[in-house]
Structure 1
Amino acid sequence: MRWWPERWRRRPAESGSSADPLLAAARERGIPTVRVSASQAEDLAIAMAKINYEKGDVAAAEETLRRIATTGSPSPAGTAAFNLGVMLELRGDVRGARNAYRMAVDSPNPDAAAMAALNLGLILFYAGDIEQARNLMTLAMESGHEQAAPKGAFNLGGLLVSQGRTEEAMVALQRAVDSGHPDESPGALTQLGALWFSAGRVADAEAAFERVIATRHPEFAPTAQACLIDLRRRRG
């Protein structure tokens, strides 16, 4: 799950901006500042909420994120809703997290919407709402987001396998493989290898496992190695 925004831009605003109280508070904490527009002030407030959260003032962080998520400008509101969802999920408030993620999914912020779709899809999958989970994972996969798209494809593949929809699962997993993501690609290729072996495509499965082993991925390379040993044992 992606946490706080990794970067945010600041632009000059006119004197007397409503951001002044936020800027003063930021300066007290040693954060470099320039005058900002109302929208950029909300981005700054989200960054300050992160500071409050890391200092243990969870209530203050939640209040800030909730306020921006419900009344802020469209793009910061999406970011705040996603981050609020992560915070609530981490503390076990699944219902609150679902509501926050849904706000982010419905926002015009493409990054927040993509990552929220992934997280909400996983929550709904474990809650047994498979159809909605599949729709959300598909949305994440199709988003083009550098993290949400390959993660969505990997998880969608697993969901489809659990439903016995093997051909569709292979297509989704291949999307994750083709993404080149350092984790999702070898993970998806390991799953593809297992599916190919079950379908009688032994040569394809063997090649897949060998490719994963070559990545030296700490989780999936050992799994692929075990699968390859089993494949060769069964083949005799």
Structure 2
Amino acid sequence: MSTTPDEATADPSLLCEQARRLAESGEPTEAARLFGRVLELGEGPHRARAALGLAVVLDDVGDVAGAREADWTAIGTQDPEYGPRAAYHLALLHERAGERDEAGRAWRIVVDFGNPGYLPPALLALAQLADDDGDFEAARDWWEQVIGTGHPQYAPVAAHDLGQRLLERGEPARAQRVLAGALRLIDRESSPYAYARLATCIGIAYLDQAIGAFDAVLDDEEAATDPDVGPLATELLARTLPLRGRAEEAREVWARGLARPGVAGQVRARLRREFAEPAGRGEEAGTSWWEPLVESAVADGSLPALTGEAFGALDHMYAVAALRLAQGPADAGDAYEALGQAAEVPGGYPWGGLLHESFTDRARRALGPDAPNVPDVPDPSGR
């Protein structure tokens, strides 16, 4: 590497500054030459800065091996500022190459330097590596160290990740404490997304704590059969579980409540609290053929599917009838055929047979038990 007379006598700090300006102006090769010149001068207070600068510009021009060697040179100086920065840069190089173990060693070097400016992201990176490996205990230790730094950018991220894992492990109370502490580190005005992210996790933690509390009540048979406690706990637990994607468990909660002597009636009343009263049925209110279907759908968490079926059948039936109407006057045969097509539609649904039976019952009550030629609804299933 050639050296000009001016460079031979130049102050290393001036050479580093000149190299920095060259790198920023898009001349990495010339910048690398000047950083290398400083390193040729041997040990000195500017060696670490030059080595890190050389690592960065060599990385920019694609010389990854040279960049890594320069990073190690900077690390070897044990400089409290440029040493951890070089280790940070080295860790990113290894991560970019998919070299997880080497990246982990570099992150540990950053931690060993103890520079508070680079410590939080290094700790967080080590936590993420441990989490990827499925080592919760190690990851938790690193996350807790990040949180302990109180860093407004990295501590909330660590708290969120740790909180999520604690929730998955069934420790909502611990998750809530971790998340609430981190929430106090965030300025809601300047970091609304980070605040909302943590606040949402806190809400989930409270939700899981509530599920645990209701479940504990129902595990106590005396409490579960107490008319003032059991039905309420049953409803709250059954309606909360689906919010956490646990609809099957909610169905089992309703089933247990409906089978408990002494409180089954109150549980059923809570299950049906939002049911509409059939219009114009008088004393028959509450006995419509579809109500057991709706009740079962609520308990099973399949009410949207049942609603979709009902509206799908209605849409199909309406289309058949409306199309015939739009075509204008028709003879009796055409009208009869259109009515038959509309009446056949529900037969393809699980509840079609019940609708058929309801119609048959209504027709016989209207025409009398001995009425001849009671209209029948074709059943596509053949039953």
For this structure pair, what is the TM-score category when the shorter chain's length is used for normalisation?
A: 0.7 to 0.9
Judging changes above 3 Å, is the alpha-carbon distance between structure 1 residues 195 and 91 closer, same or farther for their aligned structure 2 residues? farther
1:59 pairs, out of 8, 16, 29, with 29
1:106 alignment partner AA? G
CA apart distance, 1:230: 4.5
2:92 equivalent to 1:118 = no
Q: Quick check: 1:121–1:133 contact (8 Å CA) kept in 2?
A: yes
Q: Quick check: 1:121–1:136 contact (8 Å CA) kept in 2?
A: yes
* Structure with higher RCO (Cα < 8 A, 6+ apart): 1
- 1:28-49 per-residue CA deviation (whole Å, 9 max, x = no partner) reads xxxxxxxxxx8x9212221222
Aligned-pair identity in percent equals 24
Q: State the alpha-carbon separation in 2 of the partners of residues 156 and 186 from structure 1.
A: 16
Q: Which residue of 1 aligns with 2:148?
A: 178
Q: Quick check: 1:160–1:166 contact (8 Å CA) kept in 2?
A: yes
Q: State the alpha-carbon separation in 1 of the partners of residues 202 and 109 from structure 2.
A: 33
Judging changes above 3 Å, is the alpha-carbon distance between structure 1 residues 53 and 128 closer, same or farther for their aligned structure 2 residues? closer
CA apart distance, 1:140: 0.9
2:97 equivalent to 1:134 = no
**Normalising by the residue count of structure 2, what TM-score does the alignment of the two structures yield?**
0.47
Q: RMSD of the alignment, in Å? A: 2.7
Q: State the alpha-carbon separation in 2 of the partners of residues 71 and 21 from structure 1.
A: 14
Q: Which residue of 2 aligns with 1:145?
A: 115
Bigger-Rg structure (1/2): 2
Q: State the alpha-carbon separation in 2 of the partners of residues 218 and 47 from structure 1.
A: 39
**Normalising by the residue count of structure 1, what TM-score does the alignment of the two structures yield?**
0.72
Q: Quick check: 1:45–1:64 contact (8 Å CA) kept in 2?
A: yes
Contiguous gaps of at least 5 residues in structure 1: 1-19, 23-37
Q: Quick check: 2:28–2:61 contact (8 Å CA) kept in 1?
A: no
Judging changes above 3 Å, is the alpha-carbon distance between structure 1 residues 211 and 159 closer, same or farther for their aligned structure 2 residues? same
2:75 equivalent to 1:105 = yes
1:150 alignment partner AA? P
CA apart distance, 1:91: 4.7
Judging changes above 3 Å, is the alpha-carbon distance between structure 1 residues 51 and 175 closer, same or farther for their aligned structure 2 residues? same
Q: Which residue of 1 aligns with 2:58?
A: 88
Judging changes above 3 Å, is the alpha-carbon distance between structure 1 residues 192 and 75 closer, same or farther for their aligned structure 2 residues? farther
- After alignment, is 114-123 or 84-93 more displaced? 84-93
Q: State the alpha-carbon separation in 2 of the partners of residues 194 and 45 from structure 1.
A: 49
Q: State the alpha-carbon separation in 2 of the partners of residues 88 and 226 from structure 1.
A: 44
Q: State the alpha-carbon separation in 2 of the partners of residues 108 and 92 from structure 1.
A: 26
Q: How does 1:37-48 map to 2 (within 5 A)?
A: 41-48=11-18
Q: State the alpha-carbon separation in 2 of the partners of residues 124 and 44 from structure 1.
A: 31
Q: Quick check: 1:104–1:112 contact (8 Å CA) kept in 2?
A: yes
Contiguous gaps of at least 5 residues in structure 2: 212-239, 241-383
CA apart distance, 1:156: 0.7
CA apart distance, 1:195: 2.1
Q: Which residue of 1 aligns with 2:230?
A: none
CA apart distance, 1:158: 0.7
1:227 pairs, out of 188, 191, 201, with 201
- 1:82-114 per-residue CA deviation (whole Å, 9 max, x = no partner) reads 122223334544333222212222223232221
CA apart distance, 1:75: 3.6
1:208 pairs, out of 178, 185, 189, with 178
Q: State the alpha-carbon separation in 2 of the partners of residues 192 and 201 from structure 1.
A: 11
Q: Which residue of 2 aligns with 1:28?
A: none
Q: State the alpha-carbon separation in 2 of the partners of residues 175 and 132 from structure 1.
A: 21
Q: Quick check: 2:20–2:53 contact (8 Å CA) kept in 1?
A: no
Q: How does 1:185-204 map to 2 (within 5 A)?
A: 185-204=155-174
1:220 alignment partner AA? A
